Structure 1
């Protein structure tokens, strides 16, 4: 499990750097609005994380992927990452609006601290179990689906 966690963390760090770097560039020299810049940088960060995990961390875990399978994997990966972003926002909203902890420090702790930890746990679980399933799990899923048809 340690090599998997390490690979996931390295892919996440590269994704974070891509997200932050692109966001700052799009907001600064390019002059895009904050939401447009963040949406574009989020997609770029997701793509970097997906590639890092597909080519690195989980490259031996699943059967060889076709272009269609890669597209499905990326769609599920993106959804898992979007769910992680929602967890971070909900953690911040609960702390700020629900608990009344409105200082910048409280926002940083709840959104970038606690929210990030919870979102990372969700992303790790989702990436491991939903995106890069083992070949055995994939075969079992296919067998169940065929039995239903």
Structure 2
């Protein structure tokens, strides 16, 4: 395994897996964002901004769980599903508080009260909460099965070593 300053000791394929995970997380997140903003736009006609955003966020959390569980983290340990759902709801709830704290501060602290301003403030809050959610979900909720992750790392190291040997043999044969 070649260690470079950019990889920080990780193999290139580990970085590719992380990039793939971030991309999938983003796709599910964007679909949740669309669902949330559509729900929020409707609910703002009937409710105060923070209350409307709480309801819209709960709708998005439910749809996002399906995307995360069955697409982004489908290889995560499935033996502890009740633990997973509990942690997902706890961390989603913390994200909801972060998101609505930002919305509350911008709406009432800075006096943003139009529908468009509320939507923009919501997007800012979602952005802040998304950073927390990504860290929490991948660290605590959707944990990979340790044996599989270790086996993949070991296989990657063996393949990398084999590649180095073949490259050296090819150079020496010239």
Residues of 1 paired with 2:138 and 2:111: CA distance?
35
Aligned CA distance change for structure 1 residues 95 and 48 (closer, same or farther; 3 Å): closer
Residues of 1 paired with 2:99 and 2:30: CA distance?
17
Q: CA RMSD in A?
A: 3.4
2:83 to 55, 72, 75: 72
Q: Name the SS of the counterpart of 1:3 in structure 2.
A: helix
Aligned to 2:63: 48
Q: Name the SS of the counterpart of 2:132 in structure 1.
A: helix
Deviations 1:78-136 (A, max 9, x none): 22111111112222334455xx42134776554422x2221000110111111011223
| Range 119-128 or range 85-94, more displaced | 85-94
2:22 maps to 1:5 = yes
Aligned CA distance change for structure 1 residues 103 and 45 (closer, same or farther; 3 Å): closer
2:136 maps to 1:126 = yes
Per the normalisation by structure 1, the TM-score is: 0.64
Residues of 2 paired with 1:76 and 1:83: CA distance?
10
Residues of 2 paired with 1:123 and 1:87: CA distance?
10
The gaps in structure 2 that reach 5 residues or longer are 1-17, 148-174
Aligned to 2:99: 88
Larger Rg: 2
Please state how far the C-alpha of 1:13 moved relative to its aligned partner: 2.2
How many pairs are equivalent?
Answer: 126
Aligned CA distance change for structure 1 residues 46 and 56 (closer, same or farther; 3 Å): same
The gaps in structure 1 that reach 5 residues or longer are 28-32, 138-149
Q: Name the SS of the counterpart of 2:91 in structure 1.
A: helix
Per the normalisation by structure 2, the TM-score is: 0.56
